[in-house]
Chains A and B, each alone.
Chain A
C-alpha cells in the first residue's frame, strides 16, 4: 500500500469544490462534498484527458469542463456520456488540519 501524501490545508478546498493535485508525474482531483468530507480521483476525464479540477461539483458528481461528461467522484462511476469509462478513486483523509491522499 502506498504512503499517504500531503495535498493542502483543510480550508484550501471549499465545500462542494475540487482542486487539482499533481504528484510524482501524475495528476489527481481532490474534492470536498457538501458535508465537507474529502475524496480523490484521477485528475483527467477518461473521455479526453481534460483536467476535472476545472469542472463543476454538484452533489456527488463532477462534470468535465469540456464535454459535460459526469462522474460520481465518490465511486468513480461514469454517469453521463461522453464519459463512459469510470475514474480511478483513491483514499483521502483529514490529518491535523491537512488533507492527505493515498495514491
Chain B
C-alpha cells in the first residue's frame, strides 16, 4: 500500500515541535544494547595518546600540503596538494570538531577545547551555538521539530544535495550566520537550543572568526593573490565533499521520529583513509547509542554489540545505493523509510517506545 504524508516543517518552533512534545518523543528513553558495566568502563576510558598522534599528523599534513601548494603555485603539480589541503581543512576538521565537542578525543580537557575551537573555525561554525546544537541532536536524534541537525529532509532536493558537495550554499550560509551572530542576532531556531546566558559568548566567538576571515580577504586584495583565500575559508568550497559524502550517510533514508538508533542511524564499513579523516564516525549507530565512547574505541564497541545491530553497509558505494533508492522513493512516499533486517541474535526493534507516536499516515488516493 502506498502512503502519503504531508511535507513536514523541520523548524524548531513550528507545529512539529509541539507534536513531538505531545507524542513523548522529546528527551525520551532510547533503546540501548546491553553492555556489562566493566566493558563499558573500559570502552569509555579516555586517553590522550591516540588523539595527539592523529592531531599532529593532521596539522603536519595541513602545513605540508599548503606549503607544497604554495611552492608549486602556477604549475599543475600544485593541484593535488590544494585538493588534499582542502579535504584536510574542510572535511577532516568536521570529525575533529565533532569528537572534541563531545570531549572524548583527548583525556585532557584543554586539548579537546583547543582543537574544538580550531576545527570550529575551519568549519565556519560558531563554537558556542554548535555545541548546543549538537547536544540537542543527541537528545532528540532525527526527531522532527526538535533536531537542528537533520541534513536529509523529505522530500530530498537532489540538486541541493549535489551542490552541497562543493559547499553550496552551506559555506555561504555558514558565513552569513557567523556575520549575523557577530552582530548579536540569533534566529528562532538558535534561540530554541542556545541558553540566553551563552549568547554573549557566542557573539564574541563569531566576531573573532569573522575578523580572521575578513583579514584573509584583505590580505588577498592587498597582495592581489587568491592564495590567502585558498588557505582560509576557500576550502569550505573545494574541500568539503568528503564531509558531505560521509555525513549524508549518517541518517539519510532512515526513520524519523523513532527512539531506537538502529532505525535512524547507519554504520558503514569504510577504507582506512576515510575512517581516519572521519575519526571512525562510520560506526554511527554505535556512536549515537553510546556517545561517551571515544572514536578510537568505536571499532571495539562495534565488535561488542554487532550481534544486536543491523549489519553495517559493506562500503560507501553500497550505502549510497541503498540511501538513494530510499530517497527517490520518499519523493513519492514521504512517509517511507528504510527498515533494515536485524540479525537473529538481536533484540527486536523497540518500536513500542515510539509506536503510539508514529507519524499519522493516510492511504494515498
Give A residues with C-beta under 8 Å from B: 17, 47-49, 54-56, 58, 63-68, 70, 80-82, 84
> Mostly helix, strand, loop or mixed at chain B's interface?
helix
* Interface stretch of the complex, out of B101-109, B152-160, B348-356: B101-109
Residue numbers in A under 8 Å from B291 (CB-CB)? 65-68
CB distance from B187 to the nearest CB of A (A): 20
For B132, give the chain A residue with the smallest CB separation: A82
Q: Are A68 and B104 closer than 8 Å at their CB atoms?
A: yes
Residue numbers in B under 8 Å from A56 (CB-CB)? 41, 44-46, 292
CB distance from B43 to the nearest CB of A (A): 10
Residue numbers in B under 8 Å from A49 (CB-CB)? 27
For B43, give the chain A residue with the smallest CB separation: A56
- Which residue in B37, B45, B131 is a CB contact (below 8 Å) of A81? B131
- Per-residue CB contact flags for chain B residues 92-107 toward chain A (1 = under 8 Å, else 0) read 0000000000111001
A and B contact pairs by CB, cutoff 8 A, 17 listed:
A48-B27, A48-B139, A49-B27, A55-B292, A56-B45, A56-B292, A63-B44, A63-B103, A65-B290, A67-B138, A68-B102, A68-B104, A68-B291, A80-B103, A81-B131, A81-B135, A81-B198
Within the assembled complex, what's the spacing in Å between the Cα atoms of A68 and B361?
Answer: 36
Q: Are B135 and A67 closer than 8 Å at their CB atoms?
A: yes
CB distance from B127 to the nearest CB of A (A): 11
- Beyond contacts A49-B27, A68-B103, A81-B198: 6 other A-B pairs, Cβ-Cβ < 8 A, are A17-B41, A48-B27, A56-B45, A63-B44, A67-B138, A82-B131
Within the assembled complex, what's the spacing in Å between the Cα atoms of A63 and B107?
Answer: 12
- Per-residue CB contact flags for chain B residues 25-64 toward chain A (1 = under 8 Å, else 0) read 0010000000001001100111000000000000000000
CB distance from B32 to the nearest CB of A (A): 9
B195 contacts chain A at the CB level, 8 A cutoff: yes
B223 contacts chain A at the CB level, 8 A cutoff: no
Within the assembled complex, what's the spacing in Å between the Cα atoms of A49 and B290?
Answer: 16
Within the assembled complex, what's the spacing in Å between the Cα atoms of A55 and B46?
Answer: 12
Residue numbers in A under 8 Å from B103 (CB-CB)? 63, 68, 70, 80
CB distance from A70 to the nearest CB of B (A): 7
Residue numbers in A under 8 Å from B107 (CB-CB)? 58
Residue numbers in B under 8 Å from A66 (CB-CB)? 138-139, 291
- Per-residue CB contact flags for chain B residues 301-320 toward chain A (1 = under 8 Å, else 0) read 00000000000000000000
CB distance from B236 to the nearest CB of A (A): 25
Q: Are B27 and A68 closer than 8 Å at their CB atoms?
A: no
For B113, give the chain A residue with the smallest CB separation: A80
B75 contacts chain A at the CB level, 8 A cutoff: no
CB distance from A12 to the nearest CB of B (A): 11
Q: Which of B172-202 contact A (CB under 8 A)?
A: 195, 197-198
Residue numbers in A under 8 Å from B138 (CB-CB)? 66-67
Residue numbers in A under 8 Å from B45 (CB-CB)? 56
CB distance from B315 to the nearest CB of A (A): 31
- Per-residue CB contact flags for chain B residues 121-135 toward chain A (1 = under 8 Å, else 0) read 000000000011001
CB distance from B107 to the nearest CB of A (A): 7
For B46, give the chain A residue with the smallest CB separation: A58
Residue numbers in A under 8 Å from B135 (CB-CB)? 47, 67, 81-82
Q: Which of B302-344 contact A (CB under 8 A)?
A: none
Residue numbers in B under 8 Å from A17 (CB-CB)? 37, 41
CB distance from A60 to the nearest CB of B (A): 12
Within the assembled complex, what's the spacing in Å between the Cα atoms of A70 and B46?
Answer: 14
